[in-house]
Amino acid sequence: MKAQNSVVSLGLLAVVAPIVGLLFILGCNGAGSSKINNDITPGHPTILVGKGPDALFLVPGGSFLYVANVEDTTISVVNTTTDKVVQTINGVGYPWGFVRLGESNQVAVSAYDKQLVVIDFSTHQIVKSKKFERNLGGIAANEDGSLIYTINIDNQQVMQLDGATLEQVNTFPTGKGPDGIGISKDYSKLFVTNTEDGTISVIDINTGESSLLETGGKPELVHYNQDHSLLFISNFLKNKIHIVDTEKGQIIHEIEDIKSPEEAVLSPDEDQLYVVSFENSEVHVFYADTYEKINKVYKTGNKPIGVMPVKNKLYISNYGDNSVSVIPLIN
């Protein structure tokens, strides 16, 4: 499955990439709309968006949610007060992942169709765009946004880009089928999920040297805690979430028995971890300090991927029915 890096609860997550193998197989239909539809998830409103909704990005302050429609050329902008699509950002070729650039009002978006754009989220307008020769995957950035890192899927490498010009300044090799990407607390290491190898590349940005974490299965999506000391990496085929200590460069814990997991995202207070089950159309909840499962299961729409907690609600992107579920949180 896919993929983002994405970007983070509180808008800091580098949301990582979509489901390349699934990208054009599911054959979803739909068009951008703000119509509320209660038929997909009984008891909960759903917002219709573009084709193949995937990665999510929350604008700082939480007033708007961006939805990457990965089988489309659009990003849906949802007002989190009214739960309606208030704008559609066009011209992004299969948007894949988001990362905020430092403390600026800009978010960089990687697009599978060889494109990277930068959006001013105060106006919801594209301010920069660049085409590349190869398909792009997950995306991350350094602390101030002066450097952007994005997956070059076809060449099996990470491209290091100048944040101002989007010009390539360096590359780092990965394993086969690179997908998601994360960056360490001190911004010195990259972590790349290699979906075909069943590994995670750990890349030293300063030296270019790399090592591998062997996971088996299909490691995919990468999310952070707020200070980037931990990464939460889904393994779709192993039914696991790998928790990686970015200083040690090691897997320190695994959450098991989550059927086909996709995004694993912390609550804003970092007390709870929300984990999406793609095949079961559910979101499971865990204590973030012990990783003990909480007796809460939220039903979603069809083939969910992304999850974003906003105040007293969960937003879940449903890849299979082109919608976003809006689910009240249970106390």
Q: What digits encode the pLDDT tens for the residues 252-295?
A: 999 999 999 999 999 999 999 999 999 999 999 999 999 999 99
Q: Which amino acid makes up residue 89? A: I
**H or E, element range at 222:** strand 219-224
The tokens for 1 are 């499955």
Q: What is the mean pLDDT of residues 48-66?
A: 97
CB 242 within 8 A of CB 251: yes
pLDDT band at 331 (very low <50, low <70, confident <90, very high): confident
DSSP assignment string, 266-307: E-TTSSEEEEEETTTTEEEEEETTT-PEEEEEEE-SSSEEEE
Say yes or no to pLDDT of 43 above 80.
no
At residue 330, the pLDDT reads 83
At residue 7, the pLDDT reads 37
- For 7, 19, 51, the CA distances from 23, given in Å and listed in that order, are 20, 5, 10
CB 322 within 8 A of CB 28: yes
Q: Which amino acid makes up residue 315? A: Y
Domain boundaries, the chain: 9-328
Q: Is the pTM of this model over 0.85?
A: yes
Q: Which fold has domain 9-328?
A: Methylamine Dehydrogenase; Chain H (2.130.10)
CB 202 within 8 A of CB 242: no
Q: What is the mean pLDDT of the chain?
A: 89
Q: What is the mean pLDDT of residues 192-212?
A: 98
Exposure b/e, 28-53, CB count within 10 A at least 16 = b? bebebbbeeeeebbeebbbbbbbbbb
Rounded to 10 degrees, the C-alpha dihedral 208/211/215/216 comes to 90
Q: What is the mean pLDDT of residues 214-228?
A: 97
Give the residue from 124, 118, 173 showing the smallest Cα distance to 146.
118
DSSP assignment string, 77-125: EEETTTTEEEEEEE--SSEEEEEE-TTSSEEEEEETTTEEEEEETTTTE
